[in-house]
């Protein structure tokens, strides 16, 4: 017996009534069950089904969880070829640039950008958001390039990471779980950071060949790593 009283049990008649209701819900007007229609819509052969679970959502609609035999309907070779084809089609190819030999290394390191950080001037004395963050990166790089014009540049070292992103998950926290005030969604931050990094490399490669190095950081230890590899994929044909 629980603290709330006796546990209520269904009578035999009530169980039969529930089973009858569930059975009618699974029936379709054309004689097919809702499960049959679910499998048909998804191209699943009924003979390949190992187990089925079903439930009703808040709207009364039936939902299914289907487990099929291993690798059913999946051609591993074809799947990998499709992925490779998709990637190949979305990798920009940049024209080669005729270079003149230089003797200096230009180091560009936009650190602590914190794309996604939110600061309100009324509280902090200064405003900060994703727009300000991305604009400052491009303005800073433009300024450094202007200051380096008196030197013959042989290569550019572009340092990325160093808290380029402010949060590392859907909970608006750092990698260690420290809560942060965020401006926008985590995926928006990622897309903005990739966009600004691509623009930076496109600008810098006009000066000299660019080497990119990623520095892991405490705010975005995981997402910063993913961002670095996304940037690498973007320029893999260059």
Q: How confident is the model over 45-55, as a mean pLDDT?
A: 74
Q: Residue 86 — pLDDT band, cuts 50, 70, 90?
A: low
Lowest pLDDT segment from 26-30, 101-105, 223-227: 26-30
- Does the pTM surpass 0.75? The reply is no
Q: Which residue has the higher pLDDT, 111 or 38?
A: 111
Sign of CA dihedral 77, 83, 87, 88: positive
CB of 91 within 8 A of CB of 231? no
Task: From 141, 111, 112, 117, select the one nearest 131 (Cα to Cα).
Answer: 117
Q: How confident is the model over 76-84, as a mean pLDDT?
A: 67
Task: From 64, 58, 57, select the one nearest 33 (Cα to Cα).
Answer: 64
Pairing of strands 49-56, 62-68: antiparallel
Query: Distance between CA 126 and CA 132 in Å, rounded?
Result: 11
CB of 223 within 8 A of CB of 209? no
Token pair in block for residue 153: 């540049």
């Amino acid at each position: 017996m629980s603290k709330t009283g006796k546990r209520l049990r269904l009578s035999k008649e009530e169980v039969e009534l529930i089973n009858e209701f569930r059975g009618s819900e699974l029936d379709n007007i054309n004689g097919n069950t809702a499960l049959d229609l679910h499998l048909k819509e998804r191209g699943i052969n009924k003979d390949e089904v190992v187990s089925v679970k079903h439930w009703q959502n808040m709207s009364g609609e039936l939902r299914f969880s289907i487990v099929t035999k291993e690798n059913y309907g999946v051609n591993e070779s074809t799947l990998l070829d499709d992925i490779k084809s998709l990637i190949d089609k979305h990798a920009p190819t940049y024209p080669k640039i005729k270079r003149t030999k230089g003797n200096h290394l230009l180091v560009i390191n936009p650190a602590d950008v914190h794309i996604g950080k939110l600061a309100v001037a009324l509280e902090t004395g200064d405003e900060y958001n994703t727009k300000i963050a991305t604009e400052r990166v491009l303005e800073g790089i433009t300024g450094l390039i202007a200051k380096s014009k008196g030197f013959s540049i042989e290569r550019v070292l572009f340092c990325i990471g160093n808290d380029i992103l402010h949060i590392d998950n859907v909970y608006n926290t750092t990698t260690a779980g420290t809560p942060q005030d965020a401006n926008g969604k985590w995926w928006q931050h990622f897309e903005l950071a990739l966009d600004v990094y691509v623009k930076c490399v496109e600008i810098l490669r006009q000066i000299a060949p660019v080497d990119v190095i990623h520095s892991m950081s405490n705010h975005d230890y995981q997402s910063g790593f993913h961002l670095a590899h996304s940037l690498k994929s973007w320029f893999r044909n260059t």
